Structure 1
Amino acid sequence: MDVRFDGAAGRVTGSLHVVEAAGKRLLLDCGMIQGSDAEEALNVAPFNFDVATIDAVVISHAHIDHIGRLPLLVARGYRGPIFAQAATAELMPIMLMDAASLQESDSERSNRHRRDGEAETVPLYTRDDVQKTLPLLRTLDYHQRTEILPGIEINLLDAGHILGSCIVEVFADGRKLVFSGDLGPKGTPILRDAENPGTADLLLMESTYGDRDHKDRAETIRELGNILDAAWKDGGNVLIPAFAVGRSQELLYFFARHWDEWQMSRWQIFLDSPMAAKVVQVYDHHHELFDAEAQDAWKGTPNPFRLPNLHVTESVDESMAINRITHGAIIIAGNGMASGGRILHHFKHGLDRPEVHVVFVGYQAQGTLGRRLVDGAKRVRIHGQDIAVNAQMHTVGGLSAHMDRSGLLEWYGGFKPSPQVALLHGEDPAREALAGEIKERFGIDARLARPGVSVEV
């Protein structure tokens, strides 16, 4: 069995790995590269393999940096099966149609303003391309070891990252490959803790936070409550960039759990996402994937998805109307790295106001607007407009959906014996730090995955 790294090998996003075994070739993920304009331009480049030679695709979870290039793969000729856990398969149409819609809208906006002689902007793919992709989906449940190609079996384990997220075990040629996907930390709201496969001949492991530990979760919850209280006293709104799947649901869960303590009834809460209502329905379909505490919460009052002051805004007009509110609004809008989506419109109306509080609740990749704001930018450019940054910035790191350094080391330590490991889905400083810890604690020389490099299992 051979593995070649074609994405997320030196960066966090763009997950894409090629596995050759039993005379077949399969992809682990086919994700979109997110970040700066230059990085995102890489998405349109040809794949580093002949699409016609791919026999199957296996998806770890439904975030766009893991599925976002699937319609492009299909547009370029792929016709094989795409395997995903049942909840992931239900989320994928929502995510991909939204991504296509955003690309179409961005292209239309760019073409309206293009100058004479400039080339027309073309979306990476369209909603029609997504419609051609969806019939290829094949659903699997956790712990359902399945032969997906002659001589190749896979088994999916719960990764605890988002609903339906998976650790993928690949069995072929008498060997076992484990792909971690993205791993959620212990105690993540709503979800069960990540499982551990126990054994592997080669482990492909994420390393997003391989160089740091998160804040204590209880301390993080207190911090979030204090931010909301300070924002109320300052007389402004709270703007929260958050992806529609995962973090948005967790925030609503916290609002429900701390309803009285945080005086949540005084706020108007806006979940400003065309996807939000559909994603909520998927969560409601899969209570069996919740942990025990979350299942109890959904039976109580208030229900996290039916808070009395929650407004799910789907239309553009509803979204624009939010910006007429200058005080007492909590606005959760995509996307989580502020590299696109409706949060940009709220930033245009709010970043210059010192009474506004911006709360980052997830990882901000290099090159994104979110990263520039976290790093202290005083001015930013949004939709061609120069905006002064006077709003108050908060990074609430303890809400991350990724394991931190200690969590990753503990999870790796659950394998007996310690397997060979390739670190991916992380920037180099994080990967190098984690590799050093693995060497010191377990005596294993961890590889740092690089694009185009192959490893034999």
Structure 2
Amino acid sequence: MKVHFFGGAGTVTGSKYLVETASTSVLIDCGMFQGLKFLRELNREPLPYLPENIDFVIITHGHLDHCGWLPVLVRDGFKGKIFCTEPTKEIIKIILLDSAKIQEEEAERANKEHFSKHDQATALYTVADAEAVFPHLRVIEPNLDVKISDEVYFNFFYASHILGACSVNLVAEGKTLVFSGDIGQDDDVLLFPPKKPKQADYVFLESTYGNRLHPSNNTLLEIETIINNSFNRGGNVVIPSFAVERVQTVMYLLWQLQKEERLPKMPFIIDTPMGIDVIQLFLEFGKWHKLSLEECQEMCQMFTLISDYKDTIAAIYDERPKVVIAASGMITGGRVLSYLERYIGKPETTVLLVGYQAEGTRGRKLLEGAKEIKMYGKYYPVEANVILVEGLSAHGDQKDLLNWLSELENTPQKVFLVHGENEAADELRHQIKEHYNFECMVPYLGQVVEI
């Protein structure tokens, strides 16, 4: 049996792990690369394994870096089933359509304004390509064994992180392979704690925050202080946010502050059609999170929800101080760019980062103190205050990741540390060795391992 690391190795994006047995090939996740240019360019490269020869795909959750390459896989010849949970199926539909629409619009704008280096800019995939994925999707309930061949079966178990996210137990040729997907924090404000694996011969563990601990700061107090300071300066707070789960988490915290009368009277805007669609999924899939239907409805009443781009323009030119939550979380695209084009050069503006910022993204550059950022072919000077609130990450930190391994009843033959930059993965390797004495390996992109 072989495992191919086609993505999510040495980087936090592009997760793709192919398990090849004597009779079956199963792809765990099919994510898009984001961030550094050489990684983004990999999205245009053919998979080093013919898609038509892949029998099944299992998706851990609906973030773009775990499902965003599915339209290319299907377009290039994949004909099998794609297994996921019910919330993940709905999120995949939302996120792929949004991704395709953004790519088409950006290609059109690049050709119109001539800022592409290519003679003709093209989208990685179209809305039609995204829609071609949907007939392949098959819903699987957690904790249900699904046989996909005579010698291979799998089940999902709850991972927290985002709505519908699950880890995967894959049993093949008598060996148990556990793929963590992305693991949420043990004390997430909206989601339940992740379930822990009991048995594993091989573990494929994410390591996004493998070298960090989330601060023990009072997150509510941090957000309260940031918003009030910005309001007193007459500035706007722009929150680039992942539309899936993070928008809803930020909404929840702002709602808590408003209920305690700790925020000024000002507009609170959600400007992400995809995020608004996901809010509806929170109403629909109540068993996956902590909030009641009544709490969800009351929370939503605090916000102005914007879908039409004409309303976006009106909000941008509204002179009143306001809080705007807009996708995308790492500022790689989406409507947040429209707000930043106008506000990034104003010293009274605050850009509030609320999640992991991958290498090469605008969010990472801002976090590292960039004096200017490039948007739509133009450079904009950065005068805004850029602040990261680390406690809002949907990823578990080093302590959470170590804890996730704590209930294993056997010693795995190997733990592969994936979905992390090399420094984070290597530090987690040392910690796992110290705590459990498990053998660990940090695979590299494109590596093939026999197990």
Instruction: Summarize deviations over 1:222-251 as a string: whole Å, max 9, x none.
Output: 211111111111111100000110100001
1:57 match: secondary structure:
strand
Q: For the structure 1 residues 389 and 346, does the alpha-carbon distance in structure 2 shift closer, same or farther, using more than 3 Å as the test?
A: same
- Say whether 1:369 aligns with 2:362: yes
Q: TM-score, normalised by structure 1?
A: 0.95
Partner of residue 304, structure 2: 311
- Say whether 1:442 aligns with 2:436: yes
Q: For the structure 1 residues 38 and 4, does the alpha-carbon distance in structure 2 shift closer, same or farther, using more than 3 Å as the test?
A: closer
Note if contact 1:6-1:16 (Cα within 8 Å) is conserved in structure 2. yes
Partner of residue 63, structure 2: 63
Partner of residue 78, structure 2: 78
CA distance in 2, matches of 1:128, 1:336: 25
Instruction: Give the AA of the match of 1:270.
Output: I
Identity of aligned residues (%): 36
- Say whether 1:355 aligns with 2:354: no
- Say whether 1:20 aligns with 2:20: yes
Q: CA deviation at 1:400?
A: 0.6
Q: CA deviation at 1:22?
A: 5.0
User: Matches of residues 91-240 of structure 1 in structure 2 within 5 Å?
Assistant: 91-114=91-114, 118-216=118-216, 219-240=218-239
Instruction: List alignment gaps of at least 5 residues for structure 2.
Output: none
1:259 match: secondary structure:
helix
Query: Residue 426 of structure 2 is aligned with which of 428, 432, 455?
Result: 432
Instruction: Give the AA of the match of 2:279.
Output: V
Partner of residue 250, structure 1: 249
CA distance in 2, matches of 1:210, 1:115: 38
Note if contact 1:22-1:152 (Cα within 8 Å) is conserved in structure 2. no
Instruction: Give the AA of the match of 1:431.
Output: A
Q: CA deviation at 1:327?
A: 3.1
CA distance in 1, matches of 2:213, 2:323: 28
Q: CA deviation at 1:262?
A: 4.8
Q: For the structure 1 residues 235 and 47, does the alpha-carbon distance in structure 2 shift closer, same or farther, using more than 3 Å as the test?
A: same
User: Matches of residues 311-330 of structure 1 in structure 2 within 5 Å?
Assistant: 311-330=304-323
CA distance in 1, matches of 2:213, 2:176: 30
CA distance in 1, matches of 2:116, 2:351: 38
Instruction: Give the AA of the match of 1:428.
Output: N
Moved more, 415-424 or 110-119: 110-119
Q: CA deviation at 1:302?
A: 6.9
Note if contact 2:177-2:201 (Cα within 8 Å) is conserved in structure 1. yes
CA distance in 2, matches of 1:334, 1:408: 27
Query: Residue 406 of structure 2 is aligned with which of 406, 413, 431?
Result: 413
CA distance in 1, matches of 2:173, 2:409: 21
Instruction: Summarize deviations over 1:105-132 as a string: whole Å, max 9, x none.
Output: 1111111133899521111110111111
Q: For the structure 1 residues 405 and 118, does the alpha-carbon distance in structure 2 shift closer, same or farther, using more than 3 Å as the test?
A: closer
Moved more, 220-229 or 235-244: 220-229
Q: CA deviation at 1:301?
A: 8.7
Note if contact 1:241-1:336 (Cα within 8 Å) is conserved in structure 2. yes
2:364 match: secondary structure:
helix
Q: State the aligned residue count.
A: 450
Note if contact 2:110-2:121 (Cα within 8 Å) is conserved in structure 1. yes
CA distance in 2, matches of 1:442, 1:277: 43
Q: CA deviation at 1:321?
A: 1.2
CA distance in 2, matches of 1:95, 1:265: 33
Q: TM-score, normalised by structure 2?
A: 0.96
